[in-house]
Amino acid sequence: MPPGKKQSLRRAYRAARRALSPIDQRGHSLAIAAAVMGRLDDEATVAGYLARDGEVDLMNVIERCWRRRIVVAVPVLSGREMRFAAYRCGAPLARNRFGIAEPAQPEFVTPTVVLAPLVAFDGNGRRLGMGGGYYDRFFAATPNAARIGIAHECQRARELPATPSDVSLTAVVTENGWQSF
C-alpha cells in the first residue's frame, strides 16, 4: 500500500462520521444499543469507550449495562499499552495525552466483550483505527474476548488494507444491525 493511503482513508471516514447530524447520531446510537443489549450476557464484562470525534455514543449501552449490573470498562492508556478499567457512574475522569477521558483511579478488569470504536471497517472484519495499534495489541493479547466493532454504516469500506499485526473483528454493529464474521 502506498505511504499515506491509510491516513487518507482515515481522513475521509472520520469526515463522513462527523458529517452526520445530531439527530442521525442519536438514532444510530439507540439502534446500535438495542442490537448490542439483545446479545449481551449478564455475566459479561463489557469494554466500551467514551465517544468523541463522531464515534457512536455508547452511553445508552453503558447505562443499560449498569442497570443490569453488567461490569463496564473503558480504555486506559499507558505508553503503548491499553488496558480496561471499571467505569462507574459519577467516577472521576482525567484526560490522557490524546485528550480522551479515562478513569482517574483505574481498577483494571479483563473484558469478555470489547465494543471497539473504529474509523472504517469492511465485510471481512477488518478494522481501520486511529493508527496507534492499541486495539490490535490488546486483541492479540486477549484472544478470547469478543471483538465487536461499533460504527455508523457510512464507515463501511469495500475493502481495507491489512497488515500482519491487524486483528480482525468478530462482528460489527451499525444502525442497520449486527454482522458477524
Q: What is the pTM of this model?
A: 0.94
**How many separate domains does the chain show?**
1
Structural domain boundaries, residue 34: 5-180
Using pLDDT thresholds of 50, 70 and 90, give the confidence band for residue 4.
confident
**For 91-132, how does the pLDDT look when each residue is reduced to its tens digit (9 = 90+)?**
999 999 999 999 999 999 999 999 999 999 999 999 999 989
CB 128 within 8 A of CB 118: yes
Arithmetic mean of pLDDT over the chain: 95
8-31: b or e for each residue (b if 16 or more CB lie within 10 Å)?
ebbeebbebbeebeeeebeebbeb
The pLDDT of residue 139: 97
pLDDT over 90 (residue 157): yes
What CATH number does the domain containing 104 carry? 3.40.50.10420
- With a pLDDT cut of 70, the percent of the chain lying above it is 98
Rounded distance between C-alpha atoms, residue 39 and residue 132, angstroms: 29
